Amino acid sequence: MKNHYIPKFYLKRWIVGDHLIEFARRQPGSQKVTPMRRTPAATGYKEGLYDFTGLPPAKRHHLEKVFFQMLDSKAADALLLMENRKEVLTAELRQAWVMFLLSLLARHPDDIDAFKAVYIRDFNRASHAEQAAYEKARGADDPATAKEFFASIGREFLQNMALNNVPRLIFHERAVLSLMNMHWLVAAPPPHGYFLTSDRPTIRTFLGNDDSHWLVPIGPKRLFVAAKKRDYGARIRDVVAAQGWKEVNRQVVRQAVSFGYADDELHLPFFQKHLSVAKRPSMFWSFVSNPETAPPLERVP
């Protein structure tokens, strides 16, 4: 099954006719960026990305069919309302849009691989409390320590457990509440301006600061803005309407993992210069780069 980590409903905003333009470096080691005409269904996906390995077909695609498809459907409804300038959404749609934004940080193949690695690392660490509880419960034929018991569990099973926890990771209560309570608006570039996007489209700051803000292009002529303070969001809108749209494009394209998107091949020189040159890491990259010394998942901001 195709698992779209950049949903079709999002990419279709850049369609002209029946396609958009995907920009990528298509040869290993090559610095040449080439454009390719794609439909939203033919890009931003990986086969079996969210599959539960070893389970029967009815359960194998549970994460995609039950979680992501429902999430993306509601987020698409929210986006349609924002496009129609109806920025006052119901609480349900507002939460769906927030969870969609958070999912963009956790559903890319790099993110899923990193989360699996972190989950398995943390699972195999036995705290003193876990060791004490294990000693009370273990049978005569069980391993002597909790750590040995955890290590005996198959990697495939643990990877499935990690996938099962992806929805809980995305529904991070503190982050959801923070974003829902921000001031939202839709900014536009000047008449000659436009927005590009990528497979890492979110420009974000840490939540909780006075200048906290998240920006996501939602079409060639629209930028979603969430800001903790209303006047700060208005300032972002004014800057974007002048020359700031150029910096939005620069950041969104530079932090891409593999793909950039636009509505026209004429943007090739920009993508050649900026695509993926300053990749913004996965939410979990710091854990994976040094899994033995990194903090546990609970400390992810």
Strands 20-24 vs 260-262: parallel, antiparallel or unpaired: antiparallel
Domain boundary assignment for the chain:
2-48+55-295
d(C-alpha 239, C-alpha 225), whole Å: 12
User: 11 pLDDT exceeds 60?
Assistant: yes
- 222 or 284: whose pLDDT is higher? 222
Strands 2-4 vs 45-47: parallel, antiparallel or unpaired: antiparallel
User: 87 pLDDT exceeds 70?
Assistant: no
Q: Count CB neighbours of 165 within 10 A.
A: 13
Structure tokens at 99: 């969870």
The pLDDT of 209-222, averaged and rounded, is: 94
The pLDDT of 221-243, averaged and rounded, is: 96
| Beta-bridge partner residues of 186 | 224
d(C-alpha 106, C-alpha 162), whole Å: 12
> What's the pTM value of the predicted model, to 2 decimals?
0.88
Q: Is 49 within 8 Å of 112 (Cβ atoms)?
A: yes
d(C-alpha 116, C-alpha 163), whole Å: 7
pLDDT digits (tens, 9 = 90+) for 156-187: 888 999 999 999 889 888 889 999 999 999 99
d(C-alpha 94, C-alpha 298), whole Å: 25
Q: How confident is the model at residue 290 (pLDDT cuts 50, 70, 90)?
A: low
- 263 or 123: whose pLDDT is higher? 263
User: 153 pLDDT exceeds 90?
Assistant: no
